[in-house]
Amino acid sequence: MVQVPDVKHARPLEGYRGIKAIGCTPANESIAKFGLHCFNSHKGTNLQFLTVTQLLPRAVSHVKYIMTLDAFDPANGSIHSIDTCVWHSSQRNDENLRLITTYCRPTGSGESGSQWDPNGVDVFYTGVMPKWLDDDALTGSDKLHFYEVNDSDLQQNAWLHLYAQVAAYSRWIYHMVDHLPLEIKKVVVQTKEDIESSLKLKSGNAIFYLSFKTREGAEYKSIIRQTRDGRPQHMCLEVKHVEMDK
C-alpha cells in the first residue's frame, strides 16, 4: 500500500534553522509526533513536525518525556513552538505499550495540564485489549462498526503513518530506526458508532488493526487503541502485538 516515511530522511523546511535537542533519537521524535498529533486533533490544526528543540525525560512511574518541538503550518508558512508531555506508562490491559499525553500546548500559552482520568474513557474502549479481527469482521452482522482504510485515507491522514511507527517503537524501542522505512499493508478502524465511513477516522475513541512491513520485508500486526478521557490535551494509545500465523 503506502510507505511510511523514514524519520531519518525527512527533508527540512527550506530556511528553517531549528536546533535539534542533544540526545534526541528517532524514537523520541515519534513520541513527540504523538504529542503534536494530540494537539492537532484537539485544536483542529494541521501542524507538521520539524524537530524536537528541548527534551527532558523524567522517571515518574516509568518515564515522562517533557518536550518542546517546532512545527510548520502549511496553511500560512508559519512555524510554531509546542510543549508536550508524553507519559510512557505502565501496562495494565495486556498491551505492550501505553503512551499518554498529559499536555500539548503552545509554548508560553500558560495552558495547564492535568492528570489522565481513566474513569473518563468510554467503557467500550476499556479493559483487556481486543483480539485480532475475525475473518468476517468486514462482512458480518457488525460490519458497520468497521471501516477499511484506503490509500486515499493514508495520504490524507499522515498520523496513520505515525501509528505504524508507534507500533514499531513498541516492538523495538530505540532500535526502531533499524527497521524503517515501513510499508503499511492494511488498516481497519473499529468504533462504537455503526457508520460505514471514513468519518470513523475522526472519532475520539477508536481501535486500529494495523499490519505493516519493515524494510527487511518482514510483516507484523498490531492493535492500537486510541482513547480520550474528555479532558483537554489528553490522548492515550495502547499498543498490542499480534503473533503472525505460521
- Ordered by start, the domain boundaries in the chain are 2-242
pLDDT of residue 10: 42
- Residues of the chain short of pLDDT 50, as ranges, are 7-11
Work out whether the CA dihedral 74, 86, 119, 123 comes out positive or negative. positive
Q: Note the pLDDT of residue 246.
A: 52
Read off the pLDDT of residues 188-242 as tens digits, 9 standing for 90 and up.
999 998 888 999 999 999 999 999 999 999 999 999 999 999 998 999 999 999 9
* Contact predicate 32/69, CB 8 Å: yes
Q: Using a cut of 0.85, tell me whether the model's pTM lies above it.
A: yes
The domain defined by 2-242 carries CATH number 3.40.50.9100: no
Q: With residue 72 as reference, give the H or E element that holds it.
A: strand 63-73
